[in-house]
Structure 1
């Protein structure tokens, strides 16, 4: 529904420039979506300056990722490390066969093996549930909508007497609705899918409290060593497991793509409590929604 709505918005804005504008709007939306679909992984890894690592260099990461992939009956993803002290991690890739998991040097320094397993389960759940595909394609289409005002500089779809009123209206519409559409998509997908990945990841690892412990450390680490608010990092920040920037004001927290940390921790603790009350523990079986 979001995909169709955003595509309709792009073509509607383009229609204000005439029939040619509809075509340009549709092509811009489709072209951007296809480009992001095929290159989302490379773009995110490049933004974090990540490099691939082999099993000889990081045997403990390979062992944990391979174990969790086997539990979920999914292919082994590639492993990357980002040379930044800010503790964080993310997964990317359009499908499990083209997945990659990236860890910053900071997260490897502050988390123990049990907590890292919790983070790996969370990130791989994003890939298995196609969250990366959804967010990157919709984000790409939203970006296309935001760039449609350039059509106002092209003399298409205007009347013979040179009246540009319709074109100006389209430019204003794109300027107003583009950022709103982009923000709404990031918020609606980002927050909901983080909750779902927490639950699915905890099912895979069988240890909800390990992920909760990791999230506490990562939240404290992000406050102490936040990422710089650069455009290349802001564009992919919704993919990281925790909000990577320093929340300087209420507005930044309100429009954060990550759900409140207190609620995430509460859900994981309730999940662990429910398992204990039943005298059971999730043993790493693949959950139905994966």
Structure 2
């Protein structure tokens, strides 16, 4: 989720909960045991579509105003100008160092950066971050996640098999990690391996990896920074 004021986050969560409640109520109207799983599957896909398709609007709600720091905006513009075909970028004021790409399709996609991230990174490091997020958009990773989540929702409703649920969850972890590795690979193609490795090392200063992280990384949908660094250096990608 894009960093924002806690009140806006609460409002967003309540809206999503309300949407989910309405969908559950509508799907609960189906009493036929044959059609009910189909109705519930359709409701799940509807919720997922609204969630992903409205992400650009959600981002505008969470970050309603671009940063008014002229110096940072000019610095960001210079960095973006060095990248080929970079999607629109919005810089908003927040201390958390984060970057997020939103939008199902590249045409409506946008990258959101916090001033906390821009202040903590060098220009070369920011080039790597933007190239990474641009690859997510260019290669339709968000759309792929939506399609997989929809297929999983439909299949789980129709099959109701615990073994299938576990296998599909592992596949989802692999898909998300693969997307991150692909985004890093795309960034390397744009800014070079040296710059991308420097980017990940800079990010590791903001997100230091603890010794115990290696034992819980299997449950994380994103590869850790050391895993991403190792993948670029060796070409070996740990999907699970």
TM-score (norm 2): 0.67
- Quick check: 1:187 aligned with 2:173? yes
CA separation in 2, counterparts of 1:85 and 1:31? Answer: 34
Aligned twin of 1:211 = 196
Q: Is the 8 A contact 1:40 1:92 kept in 2?
A: yes
Q: Report the Cα distance in structure 1 between the residues aligned to 2:38 and 2:229, rounded to whole angstroms.
A: 47
SS in 1 for 2:91: strand
Structure 2 match to 1:78: 88
1:221 to partner: Cα distance: 0.9
1:53 aligns with 2:66: yes
Within-5 A mapping of 1:234-249: none
Q: Which residue of 2 aligns with 1:25?
A: 40
Over 3 Å counting, the alpha-carbon distance change for 1:111 and 1:184 in structure 2 is same
Aligned with 2:137 (options 104, 121, 127)? 127
Given the alignment of the two structures, is residue 136 of structure 1 paired with residue 149 of structure 2, yes or no? no
Residue 115 (structure 1) aligned with residue 79 (structure 2): no
**TM-score by structure 1 length?**
0.57
Distance 1:212 1:53, change over 3 A: same
1:6-56 per-residue CA deviation (whole Å, 9 max, x = no partner) reads: xxxxxxxx9x9622213312321331243234213334565xx33453798
Query: Taking structure 1 as reference, are residues 51 and 112 closer, same or farther at Cα in structure 2, changes over 3 Å only?
Result: farther
- Name the CA shift for 1:198/1:184 in 2 (closer, same or farther; >3 Å): same
Tell me if the contact between 1:91 and 1:102 (Cα under 8 Å) persists in the aligned partners.
Answer: yes
On the 8 A contact 2:98/2:117 being kept in 1, the answer is yes
**Alignment partner, residue 63 of structure 1:** 78
Asked if the contact 1:51/1:81 (under 8 Å) is kept, the reply is no
Structure with more relative contact order (C-alpha pairs < 8 Å, separation 6 or more): 1
- 1:262 equivalent to 2:223? Answer no
Distance in 1 (CA, whole Å) between partners of 2:40 and 2:99 is 35
Q: Match of 2:206?
A: 221
Find the aligned partners of 2:166 and 2:57 in 1 and give their Cα distance: 26
- 1:143–1:178 Cα contact (<8 Å) kept: no
Distance 1:145 1:82 in 2: 39
Q: Over the residues paired in the alignment, what is the CA RMSD in angstroms?
A: 3.7
Aligned length: 204
Q: Is this contact kept in 2: 1:115–1:211, CA < 8 A? A: yes
Structure number, greater radius of gyration: 1
Q: Contact (CA 8 Å) 2:45, 2:150: kept in 1 or not?
A: no
CA distance in 2, matches of 1:247, 1:183: 25
1:196 corresponds in structure 2 to 182
> What is the CA-CA distance between 1:127 and the residue it aligns to?
0.3
